[in-house]
Structure 1
Amino acid sequence: MSAAAPPVIEIRGLAKSFGANKVLDGVDLSVARGESLVVIGGSGSGKSVLLRLVLGLEIPDRGEVVLHGTPADARLRARFMQDFGMLFQSGALFDSLPVWRNVGFRLLREMPAAKARERAIASLSRVGLGPEVADRMPADLSGGMRKRVALARAIATDPAVLFFDEPTAGLDPQRATAISQLIRGIVSQTGATAVTITHDMRSVRTIADRVALLDSGRIRWQGPVQAPAGGLDSDPDPVLRAFVEGRPLDAAP
């Protein structure tokens, strides 16, 4: 019998402070191949810092990030980053470039412009945007369309790992639902490993296979969205219940 594959991402005892502000204080978490993990938590709970540590944009005070079973160093992380896509909270589109060049930004380093444009238009189609959008400028797009273009860019190279940073931030409920459904569909169709950080519980229920609650610098709770007992909507943990139900922790249920 072959040994089980190691997690794609494993976080061991990760800690990070900024001055006297202790943001993370010993986070342990793993993401299996093909799993869609959503990390939830209140504003300032350290979700974005955790993501930046995984990507190597911040250096931890202690602990380590392990990629495919090997502690991450600069060389390993560089290889890992060649096969990932990311949807930034703001979209982070280049305002001076037309949509197709935004979507095909990484592709343009690997192939002629005509081929990159063709691939970009195909990627736009996967998120429900037609070829007529390709030559528009980001400033001409609605908020929902900008998110779709940013998602098309994230998946344009068919990456094995996807990161989503507050993917529904700034969207109305209908557009937020549409983006969440797109993300779920793409993750399911491609088999990609996905990590999403959000506080939008509607998108959590659509996107997640498993949820982790970050609180007071540590993973307070983790489990499936649905389960006969112990799932997101049934576990009695008081901090989880308050967050999911959108009420102050000391308020009666």
Structure 2
Amino acid sequence: MIQIHGLHKSFGGKPVLSGVDLAVGQGESLCVIGQSGTGKSVLLKCILGLTTPEAGRILWRGSPLDQATRPDFLARFGMLFQGAALFDSLTVWQNVAFRLRQRMPDVQARAIAIEKLGRVGLGPETADLMPAELSGGMAKRAGLARAIADDPAVIFFDEPTTGLDPIRARRINGLIRGIVTETGATAITITHDMDSVRAIGDRVALLQDGRIAWEGPVPAMDRAAPLAGFLGNTPSL
């Protein structure tokens, strides 16, 4: 689904990405880990077109991700932001149906929003609440409902459990894993939480010094020498 070849990006003359090579297949769940400041978010922004790399290629379904192919890509992706990033002036259902309302009547968009809210464990009574009335866990679920509202082919998760207590974090991880499995969507997750990696990921990639230092299936990471420092006695990166 997505291939990255030799990606380079720097800011102020300081290299952040120094030749990243990475690929994620259809229906695969890839977790990208690494210390803070190693370029995980920059990598995501390059894929989404929010920042332009100096060198390298990004392919979408085998074709260069450029002006010709980006509209199709943008129409087929969903994203769960780190802080849920709900619009505070819109109700929950309007947030979930934000993209849908651009091409269908509100009655239809609301029905789909309520269905997706139910998929993440939020009842129809939450549809007309404002984001300020939601707890942190509920807001994250509403953000997840928005991410899947348009049945995307690719879903990006940016630190999906940040700010949640362990119990709520496990629930979110379980929801994400279930949604990825049921929909067959391709997933790319940026996370510091190794519990999330084990729960969500099929494969994990370590971003270090601007390159992918190690990648492989999640069950193999406990035996990977480059990951020893991350997997010692700390629950997260």
Q: How many residues align?
A: 234
Match of 2:33 among 28, 31, 40: 40
Tell me the CA shift for residue 193 of structure 1. Answer: 0.5
Secondary structure, aligned partner of 1:135: coil
Q: Report 1 or 2 for greater relative contact order, CA contacts < 8 Å, sequence distance ≥ 6.
A: 2
CA distance in 1, matches of 2:228, 2:146: 35
1:144-159 equivalence runs, <5 A: 144-159=137-152
User: Equivalent residue for 2:155?
Assistant: 162
1:243 partnered with 2:236:
no
- The runs of at least 4 aligned residues of structure 1 exceeding 6 Å deviation read none
SS in 1 for 2:20: strand
Secondary structure in 1 aligned to 2:223?
coil
Q: In structure 1, which of residues 214, 218, 233 is the aligned counterpart of residue 211 of structure 2?
A: 218
Opposite residue 17 of structure 1, the aligned amino acid is S
User: Which runs of no fewer than 5 residues in structure 2 stay unpaired?
Assistant: none
**Equivalents in 2 of 1:90, 1:77: separation in Å?**
25
The unaligned stretches of length 5 or more in structure 1 are 1-7, 248-253
Give the aligned partner of residue 234 of structure 1: 223
> What are the residue-to-residue correspondences of 1:14-29 with 2, within 5 Å?
14-29=7-22
One-letter identity of the residue aligned with 2:229: A
Aligned-residue CA RMSD in angstroms?
0.9
State the structure with more CA Rg: 1
Which residue pairs with 1:251 in the alignment? none
1:178-197 to 2 correspondence within 5 Å?
A: 178-197=171-190
Cα separation, 2, equivalents of 1:29 and 1:241: 21
Mapped pair 1:92 → 2:85: yes
Structure 2 partner of 1:78: 71
After superposition, residues 100-179 of structure 1 pair within 5 angstroms as 100-179=93-172
1:20 Cα deviation from its structure 2 partner? 2.8
Query: In 1, Cα distance between the equivalents of 2:124 and 2:103?
Result: 22
**Structure 1 residue 243, shift from structure 2 partner:** 1.4
